[in-house]
Every structure is written in structure tokens, then in C-alpha cells.
């Protein structure tokens, strides 16, 4: 069983001692000094006082961070079945290539002719994503899933604006199973969010949808498969309803693990989709690095008189291939674009990472990823569905795609042991917990996703531990309240850890709130 190390590790700032150095910059060689002269930094560029950095020796820095890694848990330690987060193994080959200095040392303002290599990579990534999603154009610019959603919502807004309909197109429809970022993105783009409920099988309630679709519908955002891991069975009817009122269909493709190589948003009738490179295509996330949330669109004419198409509205830059010159070129946002959402091409490293992952697998490999992820989910569901205290709400007999949501509501009612206690019991046994209390439509939710990374043995061990927890809950329900005991940090106070009054995410804020010298744990 994996055990996290327990060190009473201070913060790096608390390790600091005045004058202690990690590195001593050598005196400039006198000959060089003669040539270069004394370097004078203009007064206006100088700080009044040095930055407040910790002063520590090199070995102390190494020990500090090594200890922290030993106190933590990641996908290199064991399964991280966080549903919806798609925490898969990050292949080392992709790491090697994405961090090659020939990529990391490039400057975005370099002449196109000197960066043909990276432009070729980005061009082919755009092409792969077009094929995977069944769309006509892809733009790599957005930096995360939610950022892609915002881009998509601004695109939807601009679409209606150019058509002179924005006055009445005020609403975006979002099902109640949606990821929280969906209503947030729609709202940030200035739309009113209209929620529709799911039926008992986990599909969108069609009658409820029909009741809200109308003149004011600007579009619909859905995740398919949904956050319940279920494929929306009435997607074609939904498409016709939304297109019937000239709304745009937005596809939240954060997790393509459940359909990749088998079904495509473009074929389902979606107009806009984003993809999380840092989920489906393996680049690390969740503290492991920045993301990338490209958006892809199915082209359609927006203003025939002025020859404006949906692709003209895309944000940021795209790479195009110039046949005549046989070279790749960067195409900037045109005059009808929704404009830049950040600098240049977004985050290049996760994009290269995802590209290597795609190339390393090829089309057959990508299909296998889907097959394995779906098989893992359904196998786990079979192992857990009859265990006392757990239920599978919404179509318990329907097959899941990339994830399954288990409810511990029954266990809570019968024993008082909650989904959070179950999660802590998993931590205690050296596993990572699933996503809990999401989606919001499932009480005491344990949202589990093994991806293609996990072996059958690990899935069985995981289910075995969940069974053991159920046994303990029904025999000694006070015990789970003491979990976790085997982790580097025991149970934290959820409210204190999140409340703006008590939360101290940086050292500076900590000092302001609590003063120096206190025990930070
Ligand atoms: C993760 C996720 C998002 C948001 O992606 P970020 O990169 O975290 O912004 C949106 N929708 C779904 C379904 C997700 O799982």
C-alpha cells in the first residue's frame, strides 16, 4: 500500500536565513569588463529594495521540494480516477519532445521562415483535431477548457450580432448535468443561462427543452457523453430543435475519451466544440502545468452579402499552409474575429505534448484508448453496483462511456457515512479519491474515471477498497469519520480551506492574515 511521507515541512520562506545563497555569481572576468564596461541599470528600472525571495542554499531547496513530492500523490504513484478531470498517464516521450529546447527556446515574434518546424507541428495538430472532431476549422489559441468555452460563447454572440439578431438572442440553454464552467462561460459572454433538467435515464428532458427553446435562444451547450458518462440519445432531435430557431450548438469536448475514433461532434450536428488537450490528449494538469483548449467549428455562412463565414470569427492565430511557397504561415485574427483572448498561440508545450500523444498512437491507437477507457468504466461499474450503500443513479442499466457516477446517498441515510468519508477512506488506503459532490444532480456523488491508463488489477483493488469501506460503514460507522490517518495531512476543514476570510494561498497573504512565526499547518 502506498503511504505518503509525513514531514513537518516548513514553507520555503520559513527556511530562509539572511545571506544564505544557493548560487554565487562569479565576478565578471576583467577582460570582459574591459570590453563591455560596467553595466549600468537605469535607475527607473531598478527596484527600491530587493524582491522578498527566500534565502536558502541549493541543497536545502532540493531537500524541501523532494520532501514535498514525497508528501504528495500523483498519477505516477497510482490511479487518479477523478471523473471529468481525465487524469491519465503522461507519456515520457511526449514530455521529452515538448520540452526540447528547439521548442522551448523559440520566440513567438521570430520570422516565420525560422520557425517552420513548430508551425508544421501546430498545422498538423489543427488537422488531426479537425478529423477527430469532424469539424472544418480548428483554432489552438484558448488556454484551457473554460477559455475555449468563453471563445465559443463570444463566437455565438458575434454570430448573432452580425446577423442583427443579438437584441433578441439572449439565452443559452444548459442542461442541469453540465460542468460548472458552461453556465459561467455563457454568463461571462453576456447571455442569460436557462437550465433544463435531465430525465430519469440521464438524457435531456425533451419536453422541458421544447418548452424553453424559442426566439430568444442563442444556442445550447452540452457535454456528450454527459458528466454522468452517458451518451445523449436524442442528440439529433435536440440539434433540429436548436437549429430550427437559428441557435448554435456548442459541444463541451473536455473529455473525448468516451467517443474518440467512434463518434464526432461535427457529425452529430454541433457548430462549435472545444477540446481539452490536457485531458484527452494527456498533457498534465491540475497543478502539473498549463492547459490548452482549442476550439473547432463547422463552417457556415454568417453574412452572405459581405461573405462573412463562421471561421472568420475565430479568435487568435491559425497556421495555414501556403502551397505556392511551400511554407507554413501564421494567419492573424481578421477584422471580424472576436479578437485575441491571450497572446500568440496560447500554450505551446501542452499543444506539442498532445500532438506527440496523437502521433504515438495513430488513428487505431486513439480508438483503442476509447475502447479501454469505456471498458474500464463499465467493468468498475459492474464491480460496484451491487455493493451495499452504493447506487448508480440515472439509467443504472445503461452502459457508461468514459466515467460513471456512483452515489453514496443510501449509505449516508443508513449509516451517516458520506461520500466525503468514502473518499477519505480511499486516500487512507493509498489511492486517490474520485471527484466528489459533482455533478450536482447526484447526491453524495463519487464520479469515477479510470481512463485507459489503469490495469484491471488496479481497478479491482479500488473496487475492493470501496467494498471494504461499505463493510466498515455498516459495522462501525464512527470509524470513517477519523479518516484519513495514513496521509501527510489529516482531514482538513473544508470551510476554512475555502473561505475568503481564512484562505491564505500565498505567503504574503498568510503573513497579512496570521502574522509571522505561526504554525502554518
Ligand atoms: C475540465 C472540464 C472543463 C473545463 O476545463 P478547464 O481546462 O479546467 O478550464 C469543462 N467541461 C468539462 C466537462 C470538463 O471536464
- Per-residue HEC secondary structure of 101-130 comes to HHHHCCCCCCCHHHCHHHHHHHHHHHHHHH
The answer to whether the CB of 336 is under 6 A from ligand 1 is: no
CA 239 to chain centre: 26
Residue 493 lies in a domain: no
Please write down the HEC assignment for all residues of 294-329: CEEECCCEEECCCCEEHHHHCCCCEEEEECCCCEEE
Q: Binning pLDDT at 50, 70 and 90, where does residue 521 land?
A: very low
The answer to whether the CB of 84 is under 6 A from ligand 1 is: yes
- Residue 313 above 60 pLDDT? yes
Q: Specify which of 31-45, 477-491, 505-519 reaches the highest per-range mean pLDDT.
A: 477-491
Residue 120 lies in a domain: yes
- Residue 519 above 70 pLDDT? no
Q: Which one-letter DSSP state was computed for residue 388? A: T
Of 51-65, 150-164, 207-221, 366-380, which gets the smallest average pLDDT? 51-65
Mean local confidence (pLDDT), 310-317: 94
Residue 166 lies in a domain: yes
Residue 92 lies in a domain: no
- Residue 520 above 50 pLDDT? no
Q: Output the DSSP codes for 35-51.
A: HH------GGGS-SS--
- Which ligand 1 atom sits closest to the C-alpha of 147? 9
For residue 16, the tally of other CB atoms under 10 A from its CB is 15
Closest by Cα among 336, 339, 338, 320 to 328: 320
Q: Output the DSSP codes for 1-24.
A: --------PPPHHHH--TT--S--
Structural domains in the chain (count): 1
Segments in 163-234 forming alpha helices (H): 181-188, 206-212
Closest Cα to atom 15 of ligand 1 = 84
Q: How confident is the model at residue 214, as a pLDDT?
A: 97
Q: How confident is the model at residue 517, as a pLDDT?
A: 56
Q: How confident is the model at residue 516, as a pLDDT?
A: 66
Q: Which domain holds residue 269?
A: 116-355
* Contact indicator for 394, 217 with CB cutoff of 8 Å: no
What confidence tens digit (pLDDT) does each residue in 216-240 have? 999 999 999 999 999 999 999 999 9
For residue 62, the tally of other CB atoms under 10 A from its CB is 12
End-to-end CA distance of the chain: 26
- Which ligand 1 atom sits closest to the C-alpha of 146? 9
- Residue 370 above 80 pLDDT? yes
Helix (H) or strand (E) holding 139: strand 137-139
Residue 243 lies in a domain: yes
Taken in order 450, 475, 443, 2, the sign of the CA dihedral is negative
What confidence tens digit (pLDDT) does each residue in 247-275 have? 999 999 999 999 999 999 999 999 999 99
- Residue 49 above 90 pLDDT? no
- Residue 104 above 80 pLDDT? yes
The answer to whether the CB of 146 is under 6 A from ligand 1 is: yes
Cell numbers that stand for 168 in this block: 433578441
pTM: 0.92
Cell numbers that stand for 144 in this block: 484551457
Cell numbers that stand for 92 in this block: 515520457
Domain holding 133: CATH number? Answer: 3.40.640.10
Residue 125 lies in a domain: yes
Amino acid at each position: 500500500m502506498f503511504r505518503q511521507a509525513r514531514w513537518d515541512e516548513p514553507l520555503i520562506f520559513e527556511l530562509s536565513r539572511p545571506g544564505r545563497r544557493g548560487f554565487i555569481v562569479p565576478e565578471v572576468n576583467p577582460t570582459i569588463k574591459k570590453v563591455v564596461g560596467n553595466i549600468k541599470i537605469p535607475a527607473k528600472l531598478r527596484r527600491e529594495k530587493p524582491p522578498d525571495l527566500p534565502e536558502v542554499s541549493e541543497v536545502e531547496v532540493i531537500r524541501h521540494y523532494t520532501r514535498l513530492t514525497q508528501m504528495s500523490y500523483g498519477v505516477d504513484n497510482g490511479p487518479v480516477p477523478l471523473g471529468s478531470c481525465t487524469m491519465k498517464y503522461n507519456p515520457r516521450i511526449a514530455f521529452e519532445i515538448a520540452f526540447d529546447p528547439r521548442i522551448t527556446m523559440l520566440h513567438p515574434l521570430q520570422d516565420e521562415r525560422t520557425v517552420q518546424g513548430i508551425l508544421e507541428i501546430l498545422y498538423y495538430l489543427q488537422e488531426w483535431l479537425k478529423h477527430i472532431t469532424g469539424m472544418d476549422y480548428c483554432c489552438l489559441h484558448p488556454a484551457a477548457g473554460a477559455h475555449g468555452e468563453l471563445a465559443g460563447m463570444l463566437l455565438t454572440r458575434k454570430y448573432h450580432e452580425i446577423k442583427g439578431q443579438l437584441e433578441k438572442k439572449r439565452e443559452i440553454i444548459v442542461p442541469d448535468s453540465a460542468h460548472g464552467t458552461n453556465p459561467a462561460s455563457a454568463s461571462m459572454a453576456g447571455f442569460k443561462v436557462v437550465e433544463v433538467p435531465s430525465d430519469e435515464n440521464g438524457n435531456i428532458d425533451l419536453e422541458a427543452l421544447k418548452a424553453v427553446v424559442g426566439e430568444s435562444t442563442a444556442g445550447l451547450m452540452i457535454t456528450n457523453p454527459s458528466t454522468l458518462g452517458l451518451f445523449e440519445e436524442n442528440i439529433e432531435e435536440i440539434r433540429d430543435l436548436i437549429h430550427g430557431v437559428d441557435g448554435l450548438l456548442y459541444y463541451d469536448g473536455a473529455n473525448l475519451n468516451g467517443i474518440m475514433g467512434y463518434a464526432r461532434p461535427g457529425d452529430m450536428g454541433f457548430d462549435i466544440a472545444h477540446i481539452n488537450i490536457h485531458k484527452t490528449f494527456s498533457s498534465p494538469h491540475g497543478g502539473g502545468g498549463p492547459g490548452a483548449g482549442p476550439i473547432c467549428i463547422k463552417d457556415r455562412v454568417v453574412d452572405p452579402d459581405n461573405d462573412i463565414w463562421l471561421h472568420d470569427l475565430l479568435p487568435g492565430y491559425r497556421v495555414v499552409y501556403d502551397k505556392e511557397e511551400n511554407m507554413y504561415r501564421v494567419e492573424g485574427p481578421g477584422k471580424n474575429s472576436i479578437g485575441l483572448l491571450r497572446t500568440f498561440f496560447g500554450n505551446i508545450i501542452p499543444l506539442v505534448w498532445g500532438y506527440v500523444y496523437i502521433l504515438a498512437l495513430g488513428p487505431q491507437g486513439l480508438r483503442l484508448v476509447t475502447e479501454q477507457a469505456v471498458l474500464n468504466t463499465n467493468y468498475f461499474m459492474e464491480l460496484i453496483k451491487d455493493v451495499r450503500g452504493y447506487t448508480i443513479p440515472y439509467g443504472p442499466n445503461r452502459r457508461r462511456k468514459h466515467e460513471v457516477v456512483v452515489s453514496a446517498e443510501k449509505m449516508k441515510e443508513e449509516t451517516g457515512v458520506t461520500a466525503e468519508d468514502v473518499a477519505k477512506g480511499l486516500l487512507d488506503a493509498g489511492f486517490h479519491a474520485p471527484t466528489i459532490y459533482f455533478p450536482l444532480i447526484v447526491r453524495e456523488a463519487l464520479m469515477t474515471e479510470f481512463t485507459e491508463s489503469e490495469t484491471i488489477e488496479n481497478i479491482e483493488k479500488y473496487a475492493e477498497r470501496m467494498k471494504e469501506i461499505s463493510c466498515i460503514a455498516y459495522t462501525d460507522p464512527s470509524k470513517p469519520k477519523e479518516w484519513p490517518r495514513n496521509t501527510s495531512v489529516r482531514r482538513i476543514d473544508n470551510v476554512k480551506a475555502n473561505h475568503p476570510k481564512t484562505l491564505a494561498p500565498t505567503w504574503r497573504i498568510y503573513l497579512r492574515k496570521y502574522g509571522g512565526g505561526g504554525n502554518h499547518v
